[in-house]
């Protein structure tokens, strides 16, 4: 293992450090801009380019093209804050950034992420912040600001006071130093080879502090621009939330302990003595969140909880890109303003007629809960993977069942009489159901306006899974019932249970999940029992021989007697009935199988039952039915198991462990549980006979 000192030496990259701390003259910087105009991009252009850097994938869902941006998989932090199942809202967000980058209008708006608690609004903003920080360290994301340097100036005008260096407090773009009447010609030259979308547009003015220093130096040198620029050092900056460079965060607090100077800066009383006036810009701290977030982005946590005085500042910051510090003229800013809020606060905004101006300057992007089961499972997979949870084993389907219940609580009851809530969940998850097309699913989503905006938050699920993991129950394994019991027990004190009716509805959904789990584990045990691939292969070959003979009106040779016999209709139907092929459709199904085999043969491929999911399932169920009596699984319930049966059960258990992710404890438990289901089934079947 390498020594700590060696690891530090490997980590230290002096060349990278030199690039990130580059300094040079103003005219050196103009050469950089000529070679790479992107260094002078607007904040919206930078954030959009940053997202595109990581690439994207396109797919079609319900006949609509969806773009999945890989940036939201959190490549910066190796997936720690990865987002799942909300590609559509994220696509709308990126489209807003794109339109703003092209100066189509959204750059003059506040972006408001709206949705239920725990819906990943904060995570989206956290990802954008992390991404900007990392992007600003790359050559593609480089950006620069400047400092004023005394350089032995005979400072009779007291421009610098006691300071040798005065950094621009707002990390401004150095091109702002060029007077407006000259700036247009320089930008025209820089933009000449660029497309319309890539063009650099800089309309900002210097901040009051830099404007004062520039004006005083210009007076000192009688308007000689080159002489003034000798006192400018351009430096590369790296955006950092912790260092308050280009990324700001504002959170509402108690009204008595917070005022709007937190957004726009305040007077530095210690410097008044040095500069002689509280209206001297050098005696002002331009360190409000709007100031320090210049060139990057500012996040407003629970933005609609802000006092009205703060919201007035937001109006000018969004539309005109200016803020008004105390005793100073409007100060220009270039930053992405993004806030997030929950539904209750947004309704309050809608009902407040005095906030019409803010509503008009807001682009609302809904971030609902996930409504796809496999995407919801991914959220918990991050926290409860085998690598992270080593103290206890989590039985198969435990997380899946908790996620399934969460999704059910977020779905609206389907209006179609022939569709259950569980079936709707499966359709949303990409499963196919007879009689339902993509258009039907699209229609289901359209008619459910509130879907995903209410229901159980992922945080509640995470809390209850963690409770089950630390509870002194179940030994070294956590199974679905432990987690489902935790979920049900927590409903009594859940803060969002508005009524007993809602609590009752959610409990009924837990019953649906338990029924679904019964079907899943029964099928899983059935597959483990019938997992003899040779036996399935022989059964399949036999079935195909008889199907071929039936469709071609031929006879089948009996391998034992050597005689030609009619196709075994009982065998064919015993397999087809397992997947609910009705008598009226049997010939169509058999022709379908033969056509499929024929098509493969023309391509030089051999038929494999595994490639036909329906036939594979039918064969497994038939084999299970043939074998279940020999295994006598129900004898587990009575605890009287003979040696031969025990050996067969041990084989099934080993298959569950090897093929389905069970451990010794949960494999034994699930076999006992499925045995009890079959026993109950036997009782149900016998009752009428008694």
pLDDT at 685 over 80: no
What is the average per-residue pLDDT within 150-155?
A: 85
Which is nearest to 291 in space by CA: 172, 149, 167? 172
Write the pLDDT tens digit of every residue in 587-609: 888 888 888 888 888 888 888 87
- Euclidean distance between CA atoms 329 and 320, whole angstroms: 13
- pLDDT, greater one: 662 or 647: 662
Give the other-Cβ count within 10 Å of 214's Cβ: 21
With b meaning 16 or more CB within 10 Å and e meaning fewer, what string describes 639-678?
eeeeeebeebbeebbebbeeebebbebbbbbbbebbbebb
**681 within a domain of the structure (yes/no):** no
Place of tokens 């209709």: 569
**650 within a domain of the structure (yes/no):** no
The answer to whether residues 208 and 284 touch, using CB atoms and an 8 Å cutoff, is yes
Domain of 217, in residue numbers? 17-368
What DSSP letter does each residue of 653-668 carry, written as one string? HHHHHHHH---HHHHH
pLDDT of residue 543: 87
- Euclidean distance between CA atoms 160 and 525, whole angstroms: 81
What DSSP letter does each residue of 475-490 carry, written as one string? TTEE-HHHHHHHHHHH
Q: Percent of the chain scored above 90 by pLDDT?
A: 41
- Euclidean distance between CA atoms 437 and 463, whole angstroms: 37
Beta strand 266-267 with 64-69 is unpaired
pTM of the entire structure?
0.84
Name the burial class of residue 622, with classes exposed (0-12), middle (13-18) and buried (19+) by CB atoms within 10 angstroms of its CB. Answer: buried
Place of tokens 């950006």: 143
**Residue 422 and residue 468 share a domain:** yes
**Residue 351 and residue 334 share a domain:** yes
**Residue 483 and residue 590 share a domain:** no
**Residue 465 and residue 424 share a domain:** yes
Q: How confident is the model at residue 269 (pLDDT cuts 50, 70, 90)?
A: confident
Domain boundary among 508, 528, 548: 528
> HSE of 587 in the Cβ direction (CA atoms, 13 Å)?
5
- According to the per-residue pLDDT averaged within each range, which of 138-142, 184-188, 522-526 is highest? 138-142
Which is nearest to 573 in space by CA: 596, 546, 553, 554? 546
Which is nearest to 239 in space by CA: 177, 178, 293? 293
- pLDDT, greater one: 119 or 647: 119
- pLDDT, greater one: 300 or 350: 300
pLDDT of residue 686: 34
Backbone angles phi, psi at 509, to 5 degrees: -65, -35
**Residue 397 and residue 340 share a domain:** no
- Euclidean distance between CA atoms 333 and 103, whole angstroms: 15
**Residue 241 and residue 200 share a domain:** yes
Ranges 122-126, 409-413, 629-633: which has the least confidence: 629-633
**Which residues have a Cβ under 8 Å from the Cβ of 128 and sit 6 or more positions away?**
47, 297, 336, 338
- Euclidean distance between CA atoms 338 and 605, whole angstroms: 56
Q: How confident is the model at residue 163 (pLDDT cuts 50, 70, 90)?
A: confident
**Residue 436 and residue 313 share a domain:** no
Q: What's the chain's average pLDDT? A: 86
Q: How confident is the model at residue 110 (pLDDT cuts 50, 70, 90)?
A: very high
- pLDDT, greater one: 535 or 248: 248
Number of structural domains in the chain: 3
**616 within a domain of the structure (yes/no):** yes
- Euclidean distance between CA atoms 285 and 298, whole angstroms: 18
Which is nearest to 544 in space by CA: 609, 618, 456? 609
Name the burial class of residue 223, with classes exposed (0-12), middle (13-18) and buried (19+) by CB atoms within 10 angstroms of its CB. Answer: exposed
pLDDT of residue 684: 43
Backbone angles phi, psi at 322, to 5 degrees: -135, 150
Structure tokens at 463: 């809390």
Q: How confident is the model at residue 306 (pLDDT cuts 50, 70, 90)?
A: confident
**Residue 385 and residue 315 share a domain:** no
- Euclidean distance between CA atoms 392 and 388, whole angstroms: 10
SS3 state of residue 338: strand
What is the average per-residue pLDDT within 37-47?
A: 94
- Euclidean distance between CA atoms 613 and 240, whole angstroms: 52
Structure tokens at 598: 């024929």
- Euclidean distance between CA atoms 645 and 529, whole angstroms: 12
pLDDT of residue 683: 39
User: Alpha carbon 46 to chain centroid distance?
Assistant: 21
**Residue 397 and residue 250 share a domain:** no
Domain boundary among 500, 528, 556: 528
- According to the per-residue pLDDT averaged within each range, which of 354-358, 495-499, 652-656 is highest? 652-656
Would you state the torsion angle of the CA atoms of residues 342, 348, 350, 354, taken in this order, to the nearest 10 degrees? -130
**Which residues have a Cβ under 8 Å from the Cβ of 172 and sit 6 or more positions away?**
145, 146, 204, 206, 207, 210, 294, 295
Write the pLDDT tens digit of every residue in 322-346: 998 888 888 999 999 999 988 888 8
pLDDT at 638 over 60: no
**Which residues have a Cβ under 8 Å from the Cβ of 42 and sit 6 or more positions away?**
101, 107, 201, 334
**Residue 262 and residue 195 share a domain:** yes
pLDDT at 690 over 50: no
pLDDT of residue 629: 57
What is the average per-residue pLDDT within 548-576?
A: 84
- Euclidean distance between CA atoms 335 and 47, whole angstroms: 10
pLDDT of residue 149: 95
**636 within a domain of the structure (yes/no):** no
**446 within a domain of the structure (yes/no):** yes
**155 within a domain of the structure (yes/no):** yes
User: Alpha carbon 50 to chain centroid distance?
Assistant: 17
With b meaning 16 or more CB within 10 Å and e meaning fewer, what string describes 268-298?
beebbeebeeeebbbbbbbbbbbbbbbbbbb
SS3 state of residue 299: strand
State the CATH number of the domain containing residue 262: 3.40.50.300
**271 within a domain of the structure (yes/no):** yes
pLDDT of residue 544: 87
Distances (CA, A) of 264 to 162, 211, 315: 25, 17, 13
- Euclidean distance between CA atoms 515 and 656, whole angstroms: 21
**Residue 396 and residue 348 share a domain:** no
pLDDT of residue 688: 35
**663 within a domain of the structure (yes/no):** no
pLDDT at 361 over 60: yes
**Which residues have a Cβ under 8 Å from the Cβ of 69 and sit 6 or more positions away?**
51, 52, 54, 56, 87, 90, 91, 94
- Euclidean distance between CA atoms 379 and 369, whole angstroms: 12
Domain boundary among 528, 552, 577: 528
**Residue 609 and residue 489 share a domain:** no
- Euclidean distance between CA atoms 221 and 224, whole angstroms: 5
Beta strand 110-114 with 362-366 is parallel
What is the average per-residue pLDDT within 182-204?
A: 85
């Amino acid at each position: 293992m390498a020594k700590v000192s060696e690891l530090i030496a490997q980590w230290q990259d002096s060349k990278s450090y030199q690039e990130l701390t580059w300094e040079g003259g103003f005219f050196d910087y103009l050469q950089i801009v000529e070679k790479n105009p992107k260094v002078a991009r607007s904040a919206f252009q930078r954030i959009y380019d940053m997202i595109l850097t990581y690439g994207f994938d396109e797919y079609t869902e319900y006949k609509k093209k969806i773009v999945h941006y890989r940036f939201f998989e959190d490549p910066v932090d190796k997936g720690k804050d990865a987002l799942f199942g909300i590609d559509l809202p994220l696509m709308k967000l990126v489209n807003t950034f794109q339109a703003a980058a092209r100066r189509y209008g959204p750059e003059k708006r506040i972006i408001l992420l709206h949705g239920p608690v725990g819906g990943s609004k904060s995570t989206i903003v956290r990802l954008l912040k992390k991404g900007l920080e990392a992007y600003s360290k790359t050559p593609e994301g480089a950006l620069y600001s400047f400092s004023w340097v005394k350089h032995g100036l005979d400072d009779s005008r007291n421009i610098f006071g006691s300071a040798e260096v005065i950094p621009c407090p707002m990390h401004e773009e150095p091109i702002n130093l060029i007077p407006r009447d000259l700036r247009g010609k320089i930008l025209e030259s820089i933009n000449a080879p660029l497309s319309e979308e890539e063009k650099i547009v800089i309309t900002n003015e210097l901040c009051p502090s830099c404007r004062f220093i520039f004006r005083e130096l210009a007076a000192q040198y009688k308007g000689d621009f080159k002489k003034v620029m000798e006192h400018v050092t351009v430096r590369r900056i790296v955006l950092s939330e912790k260092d308050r460079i280009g990324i700001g965060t504002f959170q509402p607090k108690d009204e008595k302990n917070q005022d709007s100077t937190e957004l726009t800066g305040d007077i530095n009383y210690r410097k008044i003595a040095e500069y002689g006036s509280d209206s001297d810009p050098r005696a002002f701290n331009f360190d409000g969140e709007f100031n320090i977030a210049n060139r990057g982005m500012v996040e407003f946590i629970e933005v609609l909880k802000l006092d009205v005085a703060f919201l007035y500042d937001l109006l000018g910051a969004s539309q005109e890109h200016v803020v008004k510090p105390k005793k100073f003229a409007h100060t220009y800013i270039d930053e992405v303003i993004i806030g997030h809020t929950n539904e209750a606060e947004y309704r309050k905004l809608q009902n407040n007629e005095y906030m019409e101006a803010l509503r008009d300057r807001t682009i609302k992007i809904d971030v609902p809960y996930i409504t796809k089961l496999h995407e919801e499972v991914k959220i918990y997979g991050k926290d409860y993977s085998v690598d992270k949870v080593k103290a206890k084993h989590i039985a198969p389907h435990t997380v899946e069942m908790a996620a399934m219940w969460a999704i059910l609580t977020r779905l609206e009851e389907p209006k179609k009489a022939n569709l259950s809530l569980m079936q709707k969940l499966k359709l949303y998850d990409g499963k196919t159901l007879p009689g339902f097309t993509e258009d039907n699913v699209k229609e289901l989503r359209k008619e459910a306006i509130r879907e995903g905006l209410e229901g159980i938050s992922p945080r509640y699920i995470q809390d209850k899974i963690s409770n089950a993991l630390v509870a002194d129950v179940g030994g070294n394994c956590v199974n679905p019932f432990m987690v489902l019991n935790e979920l049900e027990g927590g409903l009594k004190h859940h803060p969002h249970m508005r009524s007993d009716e809602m609590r009752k509805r959610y409990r009924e959904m837990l019953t649906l999940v338990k029924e679904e789990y019964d079907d899943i584990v029964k099928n899983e045990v059935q597959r483990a029992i019938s997992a003899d691939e040779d036996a399935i292969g022989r059964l399949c070959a036999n079935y195909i021989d008889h199907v071929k003979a039936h469709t071609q009106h031929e006879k089948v040779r009996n391998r034992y007697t050597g005689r030609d016999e009619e196709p075994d209709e009982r065998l064919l139907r015993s397999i087809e009935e397992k997947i609910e092929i009705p008598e009226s459709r049997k010939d169509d199904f058999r022709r379908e199988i033969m056509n499929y085999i024929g098509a493969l043969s023309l391509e030089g491929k051999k038929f494999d039952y595994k490639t036909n999911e329906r036939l594979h399932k039918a064969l497994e169920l038939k084999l299970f039915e043939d074998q279940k009596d020999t295994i006598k699984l129900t004898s587990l319930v009575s605890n009287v198991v003979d040696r031969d049966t025990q050996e067969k059960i041990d084989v099934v258990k080993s298959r569950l462990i090897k093929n389905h992710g069970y451990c010794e404890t949960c494999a034994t438990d699930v076999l006992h549980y499925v045995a009890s289901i079959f026993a109950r089934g036997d009782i149900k079947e016998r009752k009428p006979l008694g």
